Amino acid sequence: MKFEEVLEKAKNEEITREEAFYLFENTERFDKALELFKVASKVREDETGTIYKLDGCLSPITPCTLDPLCKYCFTANPKTAWSTESVLTLEEIALGAKMIEETGTSSVHLGGGSRLDATGEDVIEAVKAVKKASTLKIRVNVGPGLSEDTLKELKKLGVIEVGSLLETMNEKLFEEVKPGDSFEVRKKLAIAINNLGLGVAGGFMAGMYELSDDSGTTRKVQYEDYVNHMFYVKQFENLRCFMVYGFIPRVGTPMENRLPTSPLEVARATAIARLIFRDIDIDMCGGEIPLRVLSGANRSFLDGASIQKKSEFWGRPAVGGRREQINDIELIDLLPVTTKFIRDAGMDVEPGITNKY
């Protein structure tokens, strides 16, 4: 197998499992990574066009009730994100939807905490609140707490996509870092979403492994996990989005002393995903916008307009962004700077956003 031949083939057809693993092993140097990015960018342009999608984000619409918590999650501080106190009311969801739509954004990501003991009736009410207040297209990602009846209702309401992110295909690792979650429940949810004809959003967290001589874990094991994950979700005929995000150590969590994942590794995984999935949305979470564009991503829900409860946890918006407070909620609008960075990188955003910024 030759590097140049694999990339040349990838320009016109999806790569195989073996080729994906080969690319992970052979793009650790920056010069090889740049060649990978060039092909991934071409495939994105050929298959999905030159528009970079920026979803709005309303979050959280549900609390996290996992016990124990995931070992990497910032929910370790109950006064911050995903606590019961942080959940948006229906009135706040409706107001937030209006504020997001006013930015020119056309779709919204409804995010929430994970629950194993819920069926999702409150998610239905949140979707209804958005629909009553706006014309936004709606995507939902609230973890495993959704029943089949709820999924059917979400489809009736016009929800275009529901997430079920496993974060790793290594069940042992899943149980180690997500002891209060359920690998099987998340797999069953993804199957149900697909079988009901809803769009499926999948994805994994790069860098969850602790790579050291003592642990016995090698990059080969980690790359195998990435490839296994991509080809697992590839089975879903209604797969609409694949997300790649890197591990970030959070103060106060059991994994706070671990090193963060390099944005370059996340970008390489994103580019390889593009060569597998070709024409779906790919969302790279982490790293600067130019790196995301370079790697073949075409969508993000963390770089547009977001609504959440007022909290010191979220900090200040990036330079060039704006922050607007109304009652107990706040809008963090990163679109001015995000739009500029996307244009500077040679892509564009939706017309509605373009007209605003």
Q: What is the rounded distance in angstroms from the CA atom of residue 88 to the CA atom of residue 129?
A: 11
Buried b (16+ CB within 10 A) or exposed e, 152-161: ebbbeeebeb
pLDDT band with cut points at 50, 70 and 90 for residue 9: very high
**Is pLDDT above 60 for 213?**
no
Q: Which neighbouring-strand residues pair with 144?
A: none
Torsion of CA 347, 207, 232, 157, to 10 degrees: -60
> How many angstroms separate the CA atoms of 146 and 137, rounded?
19
Contact 111, 134 (CB under 8 A): no
> Looking at this protein, which amino acid is placed at residue 309?
K
Task: Determine the Cα–Cα distance for residues 36 and 33; give it in Å rounded to an integer.
Answer: 5
Distance CA 160, CA 166 (A): 20
Contact 266, 244 (CB under 8 A): yes
Lowest mean pLDDT among 65-74, 176-185, 266-275: 65-74
The Cα–Cα gap between 353 and 276 comes to 30
- Residue 246's pLDDT is what? 94
Extents of the domains making up the chain = 3-356
The distance of Cα 59 from the centroid of its chain, to the nearest Å, equals 13
The answer, yes or no, to whether residue 349 has pLDDT greater than 60, is yes
Asked whether the predicted pLDDT for residue 315 surpasses 60, the reply is: no
- pLDDT of 286 above 80: no
CA–CA gap between residue 23 and residue 94 (Å, rounded): 45
CB 294 within 8 Å of CB 308: no
CB-count burial class (<10 Å; 0-12, 13-18, 19+) for 109: buried
Least confident residue range of 113-117, 179-183, 278-282, 286-290: 286-290
Out of 30-39, 66-75, 239-248, least confident range: 66-75
The Cα 25–Cα 198 span in angstroms is 35
Q: Say yes or no to pLDDT of 76 above 70.
A: no
pLDDT in tens, 143-180: 999 999 999 999 999 999 999 999 999 999 999 999 99
Q: Quick one: pLDDT at residue 75?
A: 62
Residue where the block lists tokens 């107001």: 95
Question: 107 and 55 in contact (C-beta within 8 Å)?
Answer: yes
Mean pLDDT of the residues in the chain: 92
Give the mean model confidence (pLDDT) for residues 77-101. Answer: 85
Question: For residue 13, what are the contacts with CB-CB under 8 A and spacing of at least 6?
Answer: none
What pLDDT, on a 0 to 100 scale, did the predictor assign at position 65?
A: 92
pLDDT digits (tens, 9 = 90+) for 321-346: 888 888 999 999 999 999 999 999 99
The pLDDT tens digits of the residues spanning 18-42 come to: 999 999 999 999 999 999 999 999 9
* 168/86 Cα distance (integer angstroms): 27
- Give which of 87, 188, 198, 92 is closest to 140, Cα–Cα: 198
Query: Which CATH number is 3-356's, of 3.40.50.300, 3.40.50.920, 3.20.20.70, 3.40.50.620?
Result: 3.20.20.70
Q: What is the reported pLDDT for 316?
A: 54
Residue 314 scores a pLDDT above 70: no
Alpha-carbon dihedral angle through residues 86, 89, 94, 98, given to the nearest 10 degrees: -30
- Residue type (1 letter), 23: L
Q: What pLDDT sits at residue 81?
A: 60
